[in-house]
Structure 1
């Protein structure tokens, strides 16, 4: 790779993306449910679902939007290789995860609606309330550990815990700013972030399908 392109990439990773760190806490949720016994209810296709975003999800979205904005601005630099720039922009799409998670929920339930807070969700009288918790970490000059983690915790109308669906992937990325690497090789490495996110979403989709299938089987057996 040309020295000028390498320096541009280093500047991109140092001045913008490297300064970002996704906030994460294992128990951070925008709505804290009171501890209750597990619900005897199951998940079924005919149910209405109210979706709430955890603090992790809100923080992760802010992180991805900031990362993506830096990537888009970096792509405007004429010294940045187009393949590398496109890889950064595509892999940091801040809507990919939420769109994928919502698509999975919409495939399994009759209606899915996102609410700003628990009170609004409860007042809508859904059959099920789900807390959507997400966490993503992308490559930067200070970070080579790429992660995507998605968890949906389901509660019945009385906010008793039903179960959860999840999908996660993590990978340590090799350095992308080493002298001698060709631009297509660097772009391919960065695009692995997209593949990792997609695979975590596929795992979540399969987990959710299995969870709903179990609920449907239990419902039929009880009738």
Structure 2
């Protein structure tokens, strides 16, 4: 999609939109809030398959008065750090299969975060740089990746101020009863509440132990069956992340 010829005029028609997902195309120029007015009610945005879009939308996102949530999916992590992440405005950040280690090494610079949601592969590698003053941490596993108990243990031993850790688990190794018990025990031993949510490859939640209303509010977004193309893309990005 050509940004100058159509993107901005289409998006700005929806002045009442609260949540926006953009993916599959690159912006050809920065989105300037002086030319393209921000969305006044926008609270959450998801960006996918467009490596430079977050950087090109930086000033525009800062100008959206109610924006508090950003999720990044299958993109190269932006560096240097966009101002939208360091200005203290964003309260929730999600990062799933996003490549680029420099991005995660500077997690402490993401001022103001209260909630962070990560793919297990990102958590396993960057557990030592994750902010400790979060209210909530969400860790999501894929069917081909595992949450390493040793990584979780090293993180909680830092004595973070996190009130609750949510574990969204899939894959045979992650969902074994003994593995779940081990992960929950690691959290409880460090006085952190743990909630576990299991999901199958099909489009339904298999079990919730225990169920939390904080999880339910976003479960329909997360638990859908990936397409074959998405599966292949995620595998390629996850492999790149491990290099």
How would you bin the TM-score normalised by the shorter chain? under 0.3
Structure (1 or 2) with the larger CA radius of gyration: 1
TM-score, normalization by structure 2: 0.19
TM superposition score normalised by structure 1: 0.20
More helix by share: 1
